[in-house]
Structure 1
Amino acid sequence: MLIAMVVLVVCGAAVGAGVLSHTAGVSNRLSDRISPARTAVVELTAALVDQETGVRGFLLSGDERFLEPYARGVDGERTLLTRIRQLLAGEPVALADLDRAEAQAREWRTTVADPAIETRRRGSDPAAAVDTVLAGKAAFDAVRDRVAALDRDLAAIRDQARADLDAARRLRDGVFIGMIGFLLLFIVAIAVLLRVVVLRPLDRLSAGVRRVAGGDFDHRLAAAGPADLARLTGDVETMRQRVVDALVDSQRARAKLEQQQLELHRSNADLEQFAYVASHDLQEPLRKVASFCQMLQRRYSDQLDDKARQYIAFAVDGATRMQRLITDLLTFSRIGRVYDDSRSVDLDDVVAQAEANLAGAIADRGARVERPPLPTVPGDVTLLTMLWQNLISNAIKFRHPDRDPVVRVAVGEAGDMWQFSVEDNGIGIDPKYADKIFVIFQRLHSRETYTGTGIGLAVCKKVVEFHGGEIRLDDTYRDGARFVFTLPREAAAADDLDAVGEPEALAVH
């Protein structure tokens, strides 16, 4: 079809160009040659009349001034003859008439005008000049008749040219109407061909695709129509088969996931049961062990030696630490499971609450907390309080022996997150333990040196990751320890950094 359209356009352009060229040629012959030639013939007649008038005036009066029109007429005749010959090139009949008119005019000047002028100049009788004028008039009328014959021939040529122009225009109009009709027929043929060869197979393919999209994934698509459409149908069929395979795999994976979810629910139920047992049944024997050991120490202290008292103290301390470990483990397991009340949390209030909870330790150690105004973030207020309390508590606990603890808090933007840092001037952490410190129950110091179960930073990591952030130890900081972590920003708080204030404007507590 494309080749046929190209051939049609090329042929139509060639025929149209030929017809237009023929019409333009006929029109140009009429307007650029025939009509100007007739105008030049009229001017030639006027030039000949000027010659005859000048000669007659000179013969009657003997005044040389009457010969000026005669001379202008002769010059004008030569110019006009040259121009007319150029315009009538290719018109042999008109050129033959022009040659005869030129010869007739030359004969009139040679045999009549010039001899009469010479005779009058020699002083001939005016009465004889009158006779000469009358005799020359008949010869000049013959010249005029020849020029008139040329004009009639040009008029006939003009009429024929007009007829040719009309015929060329009718041919042009007929050709273009025929081209338009043929084009319309060709368009109709193309439409029918497209309908039969392309659109019907495409409709069948569309119906099949809609059937598959409606849920009948087992419906196969049969290739039909032109090669391109058949290939398209094959590609769609391949895509359908892959979708079916992916759907089967997805259903299998979903069934497996549902099974794993059931197992996870059972595991969570077991964990809940374990948490209940750990918080009640496991702690009750530990409380009894510690209580009876202390009663044994009080009642029989006078009968026990130092070794026995030391053993009893070990037993009480072990039971107490076991209770603390169980409590911390329960706290760690409840993050994201029990504490999951997400809402807008003002971190200024959270940090203030954490400082209030640590008021005794802050006062005993002369600690100082420096922080700027903090933003509002989405999260759980209990977990965030736990995060800040653990970080500030660690900074106070692992203080440097030669200086009072100073805890500095900073905040800034990090894309769609807030980035916080908590740094202290304490003993610091060796960078090689940067990953180990966030593992539950991992300790870098003995229990005799620093108390605790080693779960604080693990809780911080779990809280931060539960809120969608990250926490790490800044291994470039050498004047203590610095922890950097991120928390998400609220969606409507794109410009909250302005409300937070300048980092230098610290509030000291």
Structure 2
Amino acid sequence: MTAGQTHPEPVMRQGATAHWATRRWLQVSVSSALVLLALLSGLGVWTLNRATSITDNLVNTRSPSLTNSVRLETALVNQESGIRGYGLTGQEEFLQPYRQGLADEKTAADRLRQLLVGNARGRADLETVLGRARTWQERIATPVSQAPAGAPVPLATDRATEGKAAFDHLRQAMTVQQDRLLDARTSAVTDLRNAQRLRNWIFTAIALVIVLMAVAAFEGLRRGVTGPLARLSHDASQVTGGDFTHVIAASGPADLRQLGTDIESMRRRLADELAVSEEQRSLLDEQALDLKRSNEELEQFAYIASHDLQEPLRKVSSFTQLLQRRYGGHLDARADQYISYAVDGANRMQVLINDLLAFSRIGRVHNNDGPVDLNTLVDRTLDTLSLSIDETGARITREDLPTVTGDATQLGMLWQNLIANAVKFRAPDRTPEIHIAVSREAGTWNFSVTDNGIGIDPEYADRIFVIFQRLHTKDSYPGSGIGLAMCKKIVEYHDGTIALRPTTGPGTRIAFTLPAGGPAAEDSGSPVR
């Protein structure tokens, strides 16, 4: 895909709910489900209450009413049997069932009055039965029971027909009462069965609705959330797998569509950046090839400079020196001056070539990194520079230096250039004093070489580290102007930095850093020479 390539836009859903996010869909769905469940639960509670009410009415009113009606009938029948027997025989024991029947009648009647509260027809039937019972008792039962015992009661025989008719009339009232109570009980049983059947249907419907809601919830989540997320994940995996041309389709609720749109935008930016990166990588590959060719040419130049150029230069230098020794003073002054110029130029050219070779070898030759004891390394450097140190009377002090990881040869060149510069650029009116300091900060060693020489103007802080940049003429201070440039290259090769730092007095302070590779140094301040 190239930069600026167009992509098909993902299809967006239309409708009043298109702007709904997942949270809104869940809120609406859960709210609807809760309302439906609340309605069904209310209907279920109503059916339970209705079944409970019918059951209570059946158990506590209808059935006890019928039972007590039967007990009332039994009590009256017992009274009639006792009176009939007493009237025919006059024996006292026949009055016992009669008297017990009176007590049972009162108990059953009182219980029926309690059970039939609010039941006008039932109360009317009860009063009819009790009224007819009182009529029979007043006309038959009471007079017969009050007759003397020991002989048949004539009143019983005289009123036998009337008593039978009165009791049959009472039986009819009791039959009507019991039939109505039985009908009421049967109706209550039927209502209870219907209520139980309705309750079972409602709770079956509730269970079915819950199952359907669960299925709908899972299906809704699958279509509205997990499905779009799965598709989005699949599209994203296609892109992460390297197919940056694969369009990420946005679907589902508004927030998931927005997420898909954002990821699609990110894919487009990545595809555009990738296209630009591919172009840049191609350019870098071409530049790498050019750099490789340049390095090969540099290697050839270094070989030529170290062999082919050195040989004729040595001949020129040797012969001009022979001319100077043999004919010096034999020619005129101008000829001697020309020969001196030639000797000096050849020697300086040889020094420049050697310095340039040394500068080009930094980072390419040796590269034998390992632990380097800087105390030992600086001691060797001071021995190498002992002649110039003794001639100038320089006083060099240093703190206890650490062990670092690096190339010993290159680090030796670093210390040699810094110390040699400090000795060379001394002030003519004072003895050179050079101090080497070190401190540790985080994972870095901070070194500094401070002298009391002629100093460097801060405006030249960057220029002094550029190759062949000199601040003085070769007549004032000899050298090729490559020393500090070489120091900078060595320090940067070792992942450090180097810079000119201000001093509190006259002189120069060069500070550089190296990665920490040993224990922290202690400031001893002990003089070396």
Give, in whole Å, the separation in 2 of the partners of 1:306 and 1:399.
Answer: 34
Aligned-pair CA distance for 1:182: 5.0
Indicate if the aligned counterparts of 1:373 and 1:507 stay in contact, CA closer than 8 A: no
Match of 1:425 among 442, 452, 458: 452
By relative contact order (CA 8 Å, sep 6+), the higher-ranking structure is: 2
TM-score w.r.t. structure 1 length? 0.63
Indicate if the aligned counterparts of 1:371 and 1:410 stay in contact, CA closer than 8 A: yes
Match of 1:450 among 452, 472, 477: 477
2:368 is the counterpart of 1:348: no
The one-letter amino acid paired with 1:461 is K
Give, in whole Å, the separation in 1 of the partners of 2:388 and 2:281.
Answer: 52
Give, in whole Å, the separation in 1 of the partners of 2:373 and 2:497.
Answer: 20
2:310 is the counterpart of 1:290: no
Aligned residue for 1:508? 528
Aligned-pair CA distance for 1:19: 10
Partner SS state of residue 365, structure 2 = coil
Q: 1:360 to 1:228 in 2, by over 3 A?
A: same
Indicate if the aligned counterparts of 1:443 and 1:454 stay in contact, CA closer than 8 A: yes
Indicate if the aligned counterparts of 1:377 and 1:489 stay in contact, CA closer than 8 A: yes
Q: Deviations over 1:277-334 (max 9, x none)?
A: 1122222222222212222233334631232122111110111011111111111122
2:266 is the counterpart of 1:253: no
The one-letter amino acid paired with 1:453 is S
Partner SS state of residue 205, structure 1 = helix
Matching of residues 431-442 of structure 1 within 5 Å: 431-442=458-469
Give, in whole Å, the separation in 2 of the partners of 1:348 and 1:181.
Answer: 90
Aligned residue for 1:5? 30
Aligned residue for 2:338? 311
Q: Deviations over 1:407-452 (max 9, x none)?
A: 1111112332111111112222222322222222222222222211
Indicate if the aligned counterparts of 1:16 and 1:175 stay in contact, CA closer than 8 A: no
Match of 2:418 among 391, 400, 409: 391
User: Unmatched 5+ residue regions in structure 1?
Assistant: 27-92, 94-170
Give, in whole Å, the separation in 2 of the partners of 1:190 and 1:437.
Answer: 77
Give, in whole Å, the separation in 2 of the partners of 1:403 and 1:419.
Answer: 28
Indicate if the aligned counterparts of 1:428 and 1:478 stay in contact, CA closer than 8 A: no
The one-letter amino acid paired with 1:240 is R
Partner SS state of residue 451, structure 1 = coil
Partner SS state of residue 485, structure 2 = helix
Aligned residue for 1:116? none
2:464 is the counterpart of 1:464: no
Structure 1, 254-263 or 193-202: larger mean CA deviation: 193-202
Matching of residues 209-358 of structure 1 within 5 Å: 209-301=236-328, 303-358=330-385
Q: 1:172 to 1:431 in 2, by over 3 A?
A: farther
Q: Deviations over 1:159-192 (max 9, x none)?
A: xxxxxxxxxxxx9999999878755542332112
Give, in whole Å, the separation in 2 of the partners of 1:17 and 1:409.
Answer: 93
Aligned-pair CA distance for 1:406: 1.9
The one-letter amino acid paired with 1:340 is N
Aligned residue for 1:61? none
Give, in whole Å, the separation in 2 of the partners of 1:400 and 1:19.
Answer: 109
Give, in whole Å, the separation in 2 of the partners of 1:298 and 1:356.
Answer: 33
Indicate if the aligned counterparts of 1:418 and 1:486 stay in contact, CA closer than 8 A: yes
| Larger Cα-atom Rg | 2
Aligned-pair CA distance for 1:388: 0.8
Q: 1:402 to 1:303 in 2, by over 3 A?
A: closer
Indicate if the aligned counterparts of 2:422 and 2:453 stay in contact, CA closer than 8 A: yes
Partner SS state of residue 373, structure 1 = coil
Q: 1:507 to 1:190 in 2, by over 3 A?
A: farther
The one-letter amino acid paired with 1:253 is Q
Q: Deviations over 1:247-279 (max 9, x none)?
A: 222222212111111110110111111111112
Indicate if the aligned counterparts of 2:400 and 2:524 stay in contact, CA closer than 8 A: no
Give, in whole Å, the separation in 2 of the partners of 1:217 and 1:238.
Answer: 12
Give, in whole Å, the separation in 1 of the partners of 2:361 and 2:299.
Answer: 10
The one-letter amino acid paired with 1:508 is V
Indicate if the aligned counterparts of 2:250 and 2:258 stay in contact, CA closer than 8 A: yes
Indicate if the aligned counterparts of 1:346 and 1:375 stay in contact, CA closer than 8 A: yes
Aligned residue for 2:230? 203
Aligned residue for 1:29? none
2:427 is the counterpart of 1:400: yes
2:401 is the counterpart of 1:374: yes
Q: 1:439 to 1:173 in 2, by over 3 A?
A: farther
Q: 1:172 to 1:312 in 2, by over 3 A?
A: farther
Aligned-pair CA distance for 1:229: 3.4
Partner SS state of residue 434, structure 2 = strand
Give, in whole Å, the separation in 1 of the partners of 2:233 and 2:447.
Answer: 57
Identity %: 52
Give, in whole Å, the separation in 2 of the partners of 1:336 and 1:299.
Answer: 44
Aligned residue for 2:90? none
Q: 1:421 to 1:14 in 2, by over 3 A?
A: farther
Give, in whole Å, the separation in 2 of the partners of 1:174 and 1:428.
Answer: 106
The one-letter amino acid paired with 2:31 is V
Give, in whole Å, the separation in 1 of the partners of 2:217 and 2:395.
Answer: 88
Partner SS state of residue 303, structure 1 = coil
Aligned-pair CA distance for 1:470: 1.6
Aligned residue for 1:84? none
Q: 1:444 to 1:222 in 2, by over 3 A?
A: closer
Give, in whole Å, the separation in 1 of the partners of 2:293 and 2:402.
Answer: 40
Partner SS state of residue 435, structure 2 = strand
